[in-house]
Chains A and B, each alone.
Chain A
Amino acid sequence: MAIDVLLLFKIAGVGIIVALMATILKQAGKDDQGQLVTLVGFLLVIMIVASLLGKFFGLVRTTFGM
């Protein structure tokens, strides 16, 4: 279970770092790159969450015999 709590931190960390980077890039006038970083961060998190969801659905299915 401890690993899974780490996953929460990972997502939150990615979010915070991406947000910081986007702000800094925006400040430097590189809005495009900021957007790109946001997108990349989003995709990364989606990948994590998607695999998590996959695991979750799999478990639900086996549990309820679907």
Chain B
Amino acid sequence: MFKLIGSLLILGVSSLLGFRVAAAYARRPTELRALQTALAVLTTEIEYGATPLPDALRQAGRAVGAPVCTLLTDAAGRMESGGGITGGEALQQALGRFAPESHLRPADLTVLQALVPVLGASDRRDQVRHLRLAVERLVGAEAQAADERQRYERMYKYVGVLSGLLVVLILY
């Protein structure tokens, strides 16, 4: 009986692990897409609205779901809380909190890191150019992420379940 429970436990845990890794692969393109949308909204806000950065960030956050939304509203909140924090620093701090929550790769995060010294620090045209560049890079990353998802999502699910089975079988 204990053997059975133990086996089920092992099987469950390894399956869960596999599914989580698979979920990360599934979420990454979604998050990258959300980031693109958010940056596009931000670009529009900056280009046509000249909206102050915190408001623009909130607006962009409203256009997408968590966790990207959290990133943007977090940055906006940090800016509004004052203390002479610049837009870039706010973004940097928000990114620090966002990174563990998201399923993005360090390579994806560097795209956002590249915005840190720029965000809010130059005129409209410059901002738009930097944001467009970031969106472009995100599009590239998304295509790659989608490809990886197609290849690896199912694989990790299967591998998770099968490795659990294997362990159970050997230990039984």
- Interface of A, secondary structure class, is helix
Q: How many Å from the CB of B18 to the closest CB on chain A?
A: 11
B109 contacts A by Cβ under 8 Å? no
List A contacts of B172 (CB < 8 A). 6, 10
- Interface of B, secondary structure class, is helix
A2 contacts B by Cβ under 8 Å? no
Q: Is the Cβ of B159 less than 8 Å from the Cβ of A25?
A: yes
Query: With A24-B159, A28-B151, A30-B155 as given contacts, are A18 and B170 in contact (CB-CB < 8 Å)?
Result: no
Report how many residues on chain A are interfacial, defined by Cβ distance under 8 Å: 16
List A contacts of B169 (CB < 8 A). 10, 13-14, 17
Q: Please name the residue on chain A nearest to B163 by beta carbon.
A: A21
B-contact 0/1 string along A1-44, CB 8 Å cutoff: 00000100010011001101100110111100000000001001
Q: How many Å from the CB of B135 to the closest CB on chain A?
A: 29
- Provide the bound-state CA to CA distance between A19 and B90, in Å: 51
A-contact 0/1 string along B128-155, CB 8 Å cutoff: 0000000000000000000000011011
Q: Is the Cβ of B158 less than 8 Å from the Cβ of A21?
A: yes
- B residues contacting A by CB (< 8 A) are 151-152, 154-155, 158-159, 162-163, 165-166, 169-170, 172
